[in-house]
């Protein structure tokens, strides 16, 4: 994912934030073939991988990464890069055609970080269409990924009921003007870890492993139990 938010030390390798319990990475075909057995030994607990973009693009390594994550036992999630200038329903269909999810997988992710020349109203309507369609398909609320600048300019005050994955390349956690809490934080894009060639994005989840599990796909009967107070 390509966030425009950088910080003073962005040309230096991203250091792991060990104060958090749950750590993850996100990859696409740009990282080439990831050695997931090695990654799983590096205190990494989840990974988001690119599945689709726009109406037709499908990541060439998605199926391989998706299967490998299940094999090594890492929590896996799939994301779609949203193109506001083309039909949102077609984009949702592209994702649904590519991604077969199972119980225990992380919710689908909508990566929203470009306007592609459309208005804010058109952006919001398109995002809503994609989210609703995917929520019906998989019976779980998708996660929204964006960076802090884009969130404040275009998304703040909308979609408050959806989990949020925010990109802010810093060692201090994001503070959102609306008071919205982040669920995942992408804190750097120059991470280095055995098993991944070159730079990789580093992420953390705000809670513990049990709380991560409650976000994942589950049968309705199980979901109602874990959400009881």
Q: Exactly one of 21, 53, 102, 113 is catalytic; name it.
A: 113
Alpha-carbon torsion (204, 206, 210, 212), positive or negative = negative
Strand boundaries in 82-199, DSSP class E: 109-111, 143-147, 164-167, 184-191
The residue range of the domain holding 188 is 25-226
Q: pLDDT value at position 10?
A: 52
Say which CATH number the domain at 81 has. Answer: 3.20.20.80
Q: pLDDT value at position 225?
A: 44
Query: Is 6 inside a domain boundary?
Result: no
Query: Is 13 inside a domain boundary?
Result: no
Confidence of residue 221 (pLDDT cuts 50, 70, 90): very low
Q: pLDDT value at position 144?
A: 98
Query: Is 12 inside a domain boundary?
Result: no
**In this structure, are strands 164-167 and 143-147 parallel, antiparallel, or unpaired?**
parallel
Query: Is 52 inside a domain boundary?
Result: yes
Q: What is the mean pLDDT of residues 58-74?
A: 97
Query: Is 10 inside a domain boundary?
Result: no
Token output for 169: 């390349």
Q: pLDDT value at position 87?
A: 98
Q: What is the mean pLDDT of residues 12-37?
A: 95
What percent of the chain shows pLDDT beyond 90? Answer: 88
Alpha-carbon torsion (15, 20, 26, 31), positive or negative = positive
Query: Is 4 inside a domain boundary?
Result: no
Confidence of residue 3 (pLDDT cuts 50, 70, 90): very low
pLDDT digits (tens, 9 = 90+) for 148-202: 999 999 999 999 999 999 999 999 999 998 899 999 999 999 999 999 999 999 9
CA–CA distance, 196 with 38 (Å, rounded to integer): 9
CA–CA distance, 214 with 224 (Å, rounded to integer): 10
Q: What is the mean pLDDT of residues 89-109?
A: 98
Q: pLDDT value at position 4?
A: 41
Q: pLDDT value at position 62?
A: 98
Q: How many domains does the chain have?
A: 1
Confidence of residue 8 (pLDDT cuts 50, 70, 90): very low
Query: Is 18 inside a domain boundary?
Result: no
Query: Is 165 inside a domain boundary?
Result: yes
User: Is residue 181 flagged as an active site residue?
Assistant: no
Using a cut of 0.75, tell me whether the model's pTM lies above it. Answer: yes
Q: pLDDT value at position 177?
A: 84
pLDDT of 1 strictly over 90: no
Arithmetic mean of pLDDT over the chain: 92
pLDDT of 68 strictly over 70: yes
Q: pLDDT value at position 6?
A: 41
């Amino acid at each position: 994912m390509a966030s425009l938010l950088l910080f003073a030390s962005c040309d230096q390798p991203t250091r792991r934030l060990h104060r958090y319990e749950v750590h993850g990475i996100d990859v696409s075909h740009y990282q080439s073939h990831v050695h997931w057995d090695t990654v799983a030994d590096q205190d990494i607990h989840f990974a988001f991988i690119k599945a689709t973009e726009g109406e037709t693009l499908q990541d060439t390594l998605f199926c391989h990464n998706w299967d490998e994550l299940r094999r090594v036992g890492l929590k896996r999630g799939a994301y779609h890069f949203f193109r506001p200038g083309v039909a949102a329903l077609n984009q949702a269909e592209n994702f649904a055609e590519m991604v077969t999810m199972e119980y225990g997988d992380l919710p689908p992710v909508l990566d929203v970080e470009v306007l592609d020349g459309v208005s804010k109203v058109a952006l919001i309507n398109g995002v809503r269409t994609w989210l609703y369609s995917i929520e019906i398909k998989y019976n779980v609320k998708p996660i929204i990924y964006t960076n802090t600048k884009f969130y404040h300019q275009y998304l703040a005050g909308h979609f408050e009921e959806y989990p949020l994955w925010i990109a802010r390349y810093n060692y201090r956690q994001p503070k959102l003007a609306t008071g919205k809490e982040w669920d995942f934080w992408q804190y750097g894009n120059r991470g280095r870890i055995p098993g991944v060639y070159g730079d990789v994005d580093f992420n953390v989840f705000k809670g513990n492993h049990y709380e991560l599990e409650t976000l994942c796909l589950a049968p309705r009967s199980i979901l109602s139990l874990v959400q009881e107070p």
